[in-house]
Amino acid sequence: MRYKKRKQRVTKQEKRDLAFCLIAVFTLSTLFIFGTHRLLAANGDTATPAVYILDAAYEPPNVRTLNTAPHPLPPANATAALDELLARHGEISVYFENMETGFVYTYNAHQVYFSASVPKAMYALYIYQQAERGTADLNRMLEFTYGDANWGSGIIQRRYQFGATFTLRELLRLNISESDNVATNILRRTFGIYGYKDFIAQLGGDPTLVRNNVMNSNLTANEAGLFAREIFAYIESGGRYSNELKSHLLDNQFPFIVSCYPVASKTGWTSHTAWHDMAIVYAPSPFILVILSAREGWEDSDFEDFAEISMAFQQFNDTWFVQ
């Protein structure tokens, strides 16, 4: 039985993002204990742009112009409010990078966590790059076997019997958008783990963090930042399958990081040990945002905390990097 590919839901996701943004700008600001109009002035220079941490009056820029000209980087004290915000959220790690300027902000970024499903996106990149070289056929049919079974996240285990077949292309989509553990197991069984470790090492990552079935690995915010940077670079390269990977990430069915702009992300969760998101935010000046935490997850407060952090970094990026 061949699994029929469903239609992409990027437009629907973008509508959800916009609806959330409108709510977030006017209501989530009440979550902040900073109060409105918390101003940071750079070294006392009144000509330097001010940073408001989700000021109730904040709105995203209406003019969508990319920052193609040299832009002054934020001064050292511009991130003080971000430090204070994150300190209120217990054990948490963050990696932020503006993709036009290379400006990086990190918080507790060396802390090691259980990865859960976040590396599935990087494993997909590993396979897509093989497809670019002609050593992987996305139309190849792969079978769901007993050894692939997993009752975690995903739809294959719940809807299909052993012996069902899927194209490699569809398994890559399910692996990312649905975070389907069975799809990941089939991919891992087919493409192995040692070549993937070499792939990570060649990119400057830490292969010792990789475990046997991809989603039981370890992860730091710095490592996830590297993953997101490489995925962004591939998408921007205009490769044959770049837009396919991007569309799957935009169609993430379990987003924790939110924005007024399109978010291409891969989440991961395991009770008590992992509540993570790794995102590329397609703002006028695109940025990477990684948030890792070891919390229970799925509580309203977990979503609210990630929304609060997400919107603070969106505003920080808009303030300093959007002309």
pLDDT tens-digit map of 13-70: 554 555 556 545 444 443 333 333 332 222 333 223 333 334 444 555 544 444 445 6
Per residue in 212-248, pLDDT (tens digit) is 999 999 999 999 999 999 999 999 999 999 999 999 9
Does the predicted TM-score (pTM) go above 0.85?
no
Does residue 2 sit within a domain? no
Q: Which of 76, 89, 87 is nearest to 40 (CA)?
A: 76
Provide, rounded to the nearest whole percent, the portion of the chain with pLDDT above 90: 74
> How far apart, in whole angstroms, are the C-alpha atoms of residue 299 and residue 302?
5
Strand order in the sheet with 263-270: 104-107, 92-98, 287-293, 274-281, 263-270
Counting Cα atoms < 13 Å in the Cβ hemisphere of 79 gives 18
pLDDT recorded at residue 48:
31
pLDDT of residue 31: 39
pLDDT greater at residue 12 or residue 170? 170
On the question of pLDDT at 189 being above 80, the answer is yes
- Report the distance separating Cα 122 and Cα 196, nearest Å: 9
Out of 33-42, 82-91, 141-150, 279-288, least confident range: 33-42
Supply 131's token pair: 């497809």
Residue 4 covered by a domain:
no
Encode the chain in three state secondary structure. Answer: CECCCCCCCHHHHHHHHHHHHHHHHHHHHHHCCCCCCCCECECCECCCCCECCCCCCCCCCCCCCCCCCCCCCCCHHHHHHHHHHHHCCCCEEEEEEECCCCCEEEECCCCCEECCCCCHHHHHHHHHHHHHHCCCCCCCEEECCHHHCCCCCCCHHHHCCCCCEEEHHHHHHHHHHCCCHHHHHHHHHHHCCHHHHHHHHHCCCCHHHCCCCCCCCEECHHHHHHHHHHHHHHHHCCCCCHHHHHHHHHCCCCCCCCCCCCEEEEEEEECCCEEEEEEEECCCCCEEEEEEECCCCCCHHHHHHHHHHHHHHHHHHHHHHCC
Residue 37 lies in a domain: yes
Confidence band of 140 (pLDDT split at 50, 70, 90):
very high
| Calpha distance 108→106 (Å, rounded) | 7
Short-list 317, 254, 320, 233, CA closest to 281: 317
Domain count of the chain?
1
CATH of residue 265's domain is 3.40.710.10
Spatial distance between the Cα atoms of 75 and 205, rounded to a whole number of angstroms = 29
Task: Give the lowest-confidence range in 74-78, 85-89, 168-172, 284-288.
Answer: 74-78
Q: Which domain holds residue 146?
A: 10-321
Record the tokens describing residue 20, joined without a space.
Answer: 């959330």
| Contacts for 151 with CB less than 8 Å, ≥ 6 apart | 157
Cα atoms in the 13 Å half-sphere on the side-chain side of 268: 31
Question: Residue 86: what pLDDT?
Answer: 98
Q: Is residue 243 part of a domain?
A: yes
Is it the case that residue 11 has pLDDT exceeding 60? Answer: no
Whether 102 maps to a domain, the answer reads: yes
61-114 pLDDT tens trace: 544 444 445 667 898 899 999 999 999 999 999 999 999 999 999 999 999 999
pLDDT the model gives residue 193 = 97
Which pLDDT score, from 0 to 100, does residue 4 have?
Answer: 34
Tell me if 239 is assigned to some domain. yes
Q: Compute the chain's Rg from CA coordinates.
A: 20
Q: Is 1 part of a structural domain of the chain? A: no
